[in-house]
Structure 1
Amino acid sequence: MWRVLKKTVEEFTEDNCMRMAAALSYYTVFSLPPLLVVVISSVGLTGLVSEEAAHGRLRDEIRSVVGEAGAQQVQTMIRHVNRGDNSFWGTIIGVVVLLFGATGVMVQLQEALNEAWDIKPEERIAGVLGFFVKRLLSLGMILAFAFLILVSLLASTVIRAMGDQLDVMLAGSGGHNYLAAMNWVLTLGTVTAMFAVMYRFLPDRDVTWRQVWLGACVTGVLFMVAKWALGIYLSHSDVASTYGAAGALALILIWIYYSAIIFLLGAEFTQVWARRHGSEEFETSKDSNE
């Protein structure tokens, strides 16, 4: 394991992942509002959970890291995205622009994963076909995330009901602690599943579930720990006031930047682990690129 960790750090440095994380942060800031709108709308269309419930869950997650100011900034972005021309053509153009913006960050994540997996440009799908394939794949990722969030919301509702019962059974003591622990595990499972889906389907290479699950689990744990640590740091620092009127946006950028670092570190760990313990197909493909 030590060799895997050492090689992961080496690959992370060689692939300039810090620079890629900064670029991903830039793209994500512009893609975040339409991305959230598409995810929330997709969840609402199922009829199982309302858009308000999905919106509230995402708002709570954002608030837990960047505080109320950052959450309000994201809400403002979403409201502005939802405003538009209500005419037929205005709606059509609005939907196209919305989907294009929402899938933009996924395309950049795919490029970053291709770098992590050492996939050369000639191996990637290019041209007009490549453009549409990447956008459709990105849309598929977004819908998969919407499904995972839907499952998470439904499970959270069940857990909340169980927590109420535990509160009654334990005479009001301890039930909320169990509820918090179960919600943490649920969030970890949802985040891990999201990382696994991205590591499995986004690279322009045939990657198996067996190769990505350990990396996704490690990345999920790192993400949850970093989320907790960053939340504490931002709540006790004066970062927002340092940037004045742009303070809320700065908080969001910091959160996205460190999340991107963890995502890329997990991607490097996943490909190193797959190379050392994965299939012979990956070894052969990797060697042919070198």
Structure 2
Amino acid sequence: MATHIHGRDSSADRPRPDDVAADQSAADGPRQLTRPSWTYVARRSVREFIRDECPDMAAALTYYSVLSLFPALVALASLPALIGQDSQRTTDQLVGIVQDIAPSLVTSDLEGPINQLTNAPGAGSALIIGLLVALWSASGYIGGFGRAMNRIYDVDEGRPFWKLRPQQLALTLLTMLLVLAAAVLLVVSGPVARAIGDAIGVGDTAVTVWNIAKWPALVLIVVVIVAMLYWGTPNVRRPRFRWVSAGAFIAIVVWALGSAAFGLYVANFGSYDRTYGSLAGVVIFLLWLWLTNLALLFGAEFDAETERARELLAGVRAEEAIQLPPRDTRKIEKDSEKHATLVRRGLRLRQSGGDDTSLPEKRP
């Protein structure tokens, strides 16, 4: 079956029956890449990053990030109310975290929707429904990232809606909880650690341990988030799950260095205040999100090209397309049938001179 992906006909690039054994051999485990292989991976990663228009996809993901931000915050703030905890206290703490991390955001607009949801009459069912709606809205980023990953791997989305959407919602919830944990690690400061240390009798030691331990913990959270995004979103079956792949490592390092360099530039050389006035903080935040998504997409490209290099070393014809099996093909087949129907109707319309009912529909 021919599938057209991003303007490219990939039918000739898909595995043939005599390639199945070689494909399985390539998927059984990673091969030791040679120095020329790594050079090939690096060069092709840059080329595919440009060819797949990753800067544009990163801009789209930035839009989805902002669109998902408020629903995600509402969902997170609503979780304690489900188990009878003080929702107002949670709301205040969450808004405080956002204010500390991104003071340019209008945090006063967060409290209204959260309080309205958690304090509504009949809070039980209304809260659950509102939480599900917020989670559904927040999953837009995961869906967008999955489409970007499919483009990187040159594969169409084949999972039907009833299978894909629950996966996206589960991944969204896990990502939200991890992002919240990372935000808490960034915001919780020495005085809080000291208070906890005094309560258990260790005092200054708690502050020292916290200042050291929070950074490895933050890195661990970022590693888990990137690993979940790279493994769970595309419609391809990866040979195995990796907590830290080469692409994930590159993405995290590039993101960290890029964020530091961008912060240094904004603090010392940027003129956003003069250009954007009161919107400067929002613009800076959007640019940082764009750089973050650029790093994630480049890391994904690097992982894809690493997989291609392994397949090539295994003798698989992967020069044009990476030969990873899709997770599902039902949606692809259904979309192909719909497209074929439209093509037949177009042919009938052309042959009939505009009166397509005069010709019977012919099926192949």
Q: Secondary structure in 2 aligned to 1:209?
A: coil
Offset at residue 258 of structure 1 (A)? 1.1
Offset at residue 187 of structure 1 (A)? 1.6
RMSD of aligned Cα (Å): 4.0
Task: Give deviations 1:226-266, integer Å, cap 9, x for gaps.
Answer: 22222222233231442234333222211211111111111
Among candidates 98, 122, 139, match of residue 169 of structure 2: 139
User: Residues of 2 paired with 1:209 and 1:146: CA distance?
Assistant: 21
Change (3 A) 1:27 1:58: same
8 Å Cα contact 2:49/2:301 also seen in 1: yes
User: Residues of 2 paired with 1:185 and 1:92: CA distance?
Assistant: 35
Among candidates 259, 283, 297, match of residue 264 of structure 1: 297
Change (3 A) 1:38 1:213: farther
Q: Which residue is equivalent to 2:133? A: 97
User: Residues of 1 paired with 2:79 and 2:317: CA distance?
Assistant: 39
Q: Which residue is equivalent to 1:200? A: 231
Task: Give deviations 1:85-119, integer Å, cap 9, x for gaps.
Answer: 62458656643431221111111111111111111
State whether structure 2 residue 145 is matched by structure 1 residue 115.
no
Q: Which residue is equivalent to 2:213? A: 182
RCO (CA 8 Å, sep 6+): is it higher in 1 or 2? Answer: 1
Pairwise mapping of residues 1-290 of structure 1 onto structure 2 (< 5 A)? Answer: 1-42=38-79, 51=90, 56=96, 59-60=99-100, 62-63=101-102, 68=103, 70=104, 72-73=105-106, 75-84=107-116, 86-88=120-122, 94-119=130-155, 121=156, 123-125=157-159, 129-130=160-161, 132-149=162-179, 160=193, 167=204, 179-207=210-238, 208-210=240-242, 213-236=245-268, 237-277=270-310, 286-287=322-323
Instruction: For 1:113, give the aligned amino acid.
Output: M
User: Residues of 1 paired with 2:72 and 2:51: CA distance?
Assistant: 30
8 Å Cα contact 2:224/2:243 also seen in 1: no
Q: Secondary structure in 1 aligned to 2:242?
A: helix
User: Residues of 1 paired with 2:218 and 2:60: CA distance?
Assistant: 26
User: Residues of 2 paired with 1:163 and 1:219: CA distance?
Assistant: 35
Q: Secondary structure in 2 aligned to 1:124?
A: coil
Change (3 A) 1:96 1:209: closer
User: Residues of 2 paired with 1:183 and 1:253: CA distance?
Assistant: 26
Change (3 A) 1:209 1:136: same
Change (3 A) 1:43 1:255: farther
8 Å Cα contact 1:192/1:219 also seen in 2: no
User: Residues of 1 paired with 2:314 and 2:96: CA distance?
Assistant: 45
Identity of aligned residues (%): 26
Change (3 A) 1:180 1:163: farther
Change (3 A) 1:13 1:244: same
Change (3 A) 1:260 1:288: closer
Offset at residue 274 of structure 1 (A)? 2.1
- Structure 1 stretch displaced more, 229-238 or 24-33: 229-238
User: Residues of 1 paired with 2:64 and 2:78: CA distance?
Assistant: 21
Runs of 5+ consecutive residues of structure 1 not aligned to the other structure: 170-174
Runs of 5+ consecutive residues of structure 2 not aligned to the other structure: 1-37, 326-364
Offset at residue 16 of structure 1 (A)? 0.3
Change (3 A) 1:183 1:281: farther
